[in-house]
Amino acid sequence: MNRIQVAVLVQMIAEELLPWYDRHARELPWRLSPRQKRSNPDLLFADPYRVWLSEIMLQQTTVATVKGYYEKFLMAWPSIHDLASEELDNILSAWAGLGYYARARNLHKCAKVVAEELGGIFPDTEEGLLKLPGVGPYTAAAIAAISFDRPTTVVDGNVERVIARYYALEDPLPGVKPQMKECAQKQTPNERAGDYAQAMMDLGATICTPRSPGCVICPIQTDCLGRKSGIAEDLPKKAPKKEKPTRRAYAYLFLSEERGALLRRRPEKGLLGGMTEVPTGNWIVQGNAEREPGLDQLSQWTELDGIVKHTFTHFHFEITVLTAKVSRDHDEVAKAVQGKWAHKSDFAALALPTVMKKILHHADYI
């Protein structure tokens, strides 16, 4: 066996992946385009503020969904200082609809730490980044690689899928994660760390997809054990998921010709923390929804036909909507539910999550 054949047998993923990336990299708003790199050779790595912002938004969220939010945020808050000095409620409002609202709370918290304690400069190491609120193992590695050229091992859902297939790892997630990380670590190149990380994720997003992977056009098909053994599409295996229970509740929509709708702020932590809601009764875990006497007594209620259905990460939610006309004592009612009246023309400035918009829509109010 000569040396060339040996070299082929131990080929690194990066050797085939980076040339593919140079030809097929998607242009994304937070990514330096080849044109930018050519016209400004000093601009080797993307601005950490922009990379951080995009990576937080991209957690468990598709590129298509993130694009619009990213551009809106960058327009409203061009720098870490702009974001740090903004009020949380305005950030939550801009985040509304994107989901996982703890990300927005931590985004604000992190901006304050960087702006006020670190002089506006992001840490340039994986270890330093990992200490920031909302920045976990994936995000720390990604920012370190993309913005600071650190040869970190970036492992997200895409990389897990690519690695599971490439090495034909048949043990189920999440138990196999450490082994995946180990395999990914062996493949991490010292050069072009950011490009390699993004190339792996692009590969997973466009070719090594969960269903019907494009093995025939894959740049790393040659040494892929999953493809060779014909099990690529079935990997990675996952532990069976728990069934989602259904919770049910009544929503109490107070409406006023003069004052609009009565809305309130949810508790700071937990589900939809800090977001705006239509007042609801208890969210009953099993069985039918229950009326809330404290809310019932405040007005004369009409039950609307049909129900609003919404699925959260770990439960289904079914809401029966009640409406009531309020024509006097507006402030007393608002005080009783600890809410505020808002005209529908002002809804755009509120932090209304999707489930609450569904309720308002069902009542034909928006």
Partner DNA sequence: AACTCGTGGTC
Partner DNA sequence: TGACCAAGAGT
Catalog residues that contact DNA under the rule CB under 7 A: 28, 31, 54-55, 58-65, 97-102, 106, 133-140, 142, 156-158, 161, 174, 198, 201-202, 204-205, 210-211, 238, 241-242, 244, 270-273, 309-314, 353-355
* Complex with DNA: residue 55 or 292, whichever CB lies closer: 55
Q: How far is the CB of 222 from DNA (least distance, A)?
A: 23
Q: Which are the contacts of 36, defined by CB distance < 8 A and separation ≥ 6?
A: 43
Q: How far is the CB of 269 from DNA (least distance, A)?
A: 8
15 in active site: no
* Complex with DNA: residue 186 or 238, whichever CB lies closer: 238
Burial class from Cβ neighbours inside 10 Å (0-12, 13-18, 19+) for residue 231 reads middle
Distances in Å between the alpha carbon of 165 and those of 63, 141, 195, 214, 219? 23, 22, 21, 12, 14
Phi, psi of 293 (to 5 degrees): -50, -40
DSSP state, residue 349: G
- Supply the Cα-derived Rg of the chain in whole angstroms: 25
The distance in angstroms from the start CA to the end CA of the chain is: 72
- Following CA atoms 66, 60, 50, 46 in sequence, which dihedral angle do they give, to the nearest 10 degrees? -110
Greatest alpha-carbon pair distance for the chain in Å reads 91
* Complex with DNA: residue 319 or 324, whichever CB lies closer: 319
Q: How far is the CB of 143 from DNA (least distance, A)?
A: 9
* Complex with DNA: residue 136 or 230, whichever CB lies closer: 136
Q: How far is the CB of 164 from DNA (least distance, A)?
A: 11
Q: How far is the CB of 234 from DNA (least distance, A)?
A: 10
* Complex with DNA: residue 314 or 335, whichever CB lies closer: 314
The single residue of 15, 16, 27, 55 carrying the catalytic annotation is 55
Q: Active-site residue numbers?
A: 55
